Amino acid sequence: MNIGIVVYSETGNTLALCERARDLFAADGHDVTLARITADVSGGVRTLRDAPDASACDLVLLGTPVQAFSLPLPVRQYLLDATFREGVRFGILVTQFFKADWLGGTRTVKQAAALVARCHPLFYGSAIVHVRSRRRNDQINAAMRTLTNLEGKF
Q: Which helix (H) or strand (E) holds 59?
A: strand 59-65
**Tens digits of pLDDT across the chain (154 residues):** 999 999 999 999 999 999 999 999 999 999 999 999 999 988 888 989 999 999 999 999 999 999 999 999 999 999 999 999 988 999 999 999 988 888 889 999 999 999 999 889 999 999 999 998 899 999 999 999 999 988 766 5
Q: Closest by alpha carbon to 146, among 128, 133, 132? A: 128
Give the pLDDT of residue 38.
94
Give the pLDDT of residue 134.
92
Strand partners, 42: 45
For the chain, the structural domain boundaries read 2-148
Count of alpha carbons within 13 Å of 55, Cβ hemisphere only? 6
- Tell me if 35 sits within 8 A of 6, measured CB to CB: yes
- Please state the pTM of the whole predicted model: 0.93
CA dist., res. 72 & res. 76, Å (int): 6
Strand partners, 93: 63, 127
Give the pLDDT of residue 152.
67
Domain 2-148 falls under CATH 3.40.50.360: yes
Strand partners, 70: 67
